Amino acid sequence: MSDKARRTVGGLCLVAGTALLSYAGSVTARGWVWQERHAGLFNGSPQAPTRPGVTRDPEPTGRSTPRRGEALARLRVPRLGIDVAVAEGADPRTLSLGPGHIEGSALPGQPDNCIIAGHRDGPFRRLRSARPGDMVEIADTDGLKRYRIESVEVVGKGDTRVLAPSRAPVLTLVTCYPFNYLGHAPQRFIVHAALIDRRS
């Protein structure tokens, strides 16, 4: 390969790399902005302050499922330091905002399986330290629900048992595994939790 060709290929690689980094940066920024806009929601204080320059959406009312990409709830796992807004939907665009509620699964606190998925390179990365007995709190327009983690497990990517319905109100948190895997991870890290109380 001639010097000119090498310079051309090198230049193209540099441009492509810059474009990919810019795209990744814009996706990360979009998620951060969305989380900041919804930081004061579902905390029991409609007038909760926000950081300067951040516009808050109106406090949601009623017990209806929001549209895809809209804020559904706030999820906290105090021991792990997780405190994040959850969006409705689990498509790639919605998951770029933060964890997403899988459409069609139960809403928090309902008698069935409420399933929330999130990327392993976001807040759900901290789930790797989850253990039975940890508390999970979900606040939405219907009040606060508290769950206790009962078990964690690793399953294959195609294992659909985690999506199974339940007669009891349960919560399933899903993220990719292994946490440090490069590319499309072959497994899923699953946290199972059971509802212990709720407050309107």
Q: How confident is the model at residue 72 (pLDDT cuts 50, 70, 90)?
A: very high
In a domain, 24, yes or no: no
In a domain, 85, yes or no: yes
Q: Quick one: pLDDT at residue 124?
A: 97
- Angstrom distance (rounded) from CA 31 to CA 93: 10
Residue 132: which CATH number?
2.40.260.10
The count of C-alpha atoms lying within 13 angstroms of the C-alpha of 120, restricted to the half-sphere facing its C-beta, is 19
Q: What is the percent of the chain with per-residue pLDDT over 90, rounded to a whole number?
A: 62
Q: Quick one: pLDDT at residue 115?
A: 98
Report residue 41: phi and psi, to 5°: -80, 150
Q: What share of the chain is helix, strand, coil (3-state, %, to 5)?
A: 25, 30, 45
In a domain, 162, yes or no: yes
Expressed as residue numbers, the domain containing 193 is 64-199
Q: Judge whether residue 146 has pLDDT over 70.
A: yes
Q: Which residue is associated with the tokens 């319905």?
A: 165
Q: How confident is the model at residue 46 (pLDDT cuts 50, 70, 90)?
A: very low
Q: Quick one: pLDDT at residue 35?
A: 86
Q: Quick one: pLDDT at residue 199?
A: 86
In a domain, 53, yes or no: no
- Contact criterion met (CB below 8 Å) for 149 and 131: yes
Q: How confident is the model at residue 76 (pLDDT cuts 50, 70, 90)?
A: very high
The amino acid at residue 122 is G
In a domain, 128, yes or no: yes
Say how many C-beta atoms besides its own lie within 10 A of residue 82's C-beta: 22
195 against 22, higher pLDDT: 195
In a domain, 127, yes or no: yes
Burial of residue 153 (CB within 10 Å: 0-12, 13-18, 19+) is middle
Q: Quick one: pLDDT at residue 1?
A: 59
Structure tokens at 162: 């985690």
pLDDT tens profile 128-142 = 999 999 999 999 999
Across the range 112-140, mean pLDDT stands at 96
What ranges in 38-99 are assigned the alpha helix state H? 92-95
Which residues, 6+ apart, have CB-to-CB distance to 153 below 8 Å? 189, 190, 192
Q: How confident is the model at residue 28 (pLDDT cuts 50, 70, 90)?
A: low
Domains held by the chain: number: 1
pLDDT tens profile 149-190 = 999 999 999 999 988 999 999 999 999 999 999 889 999 999
H or E element in which residue 29 lies: helix 3-37
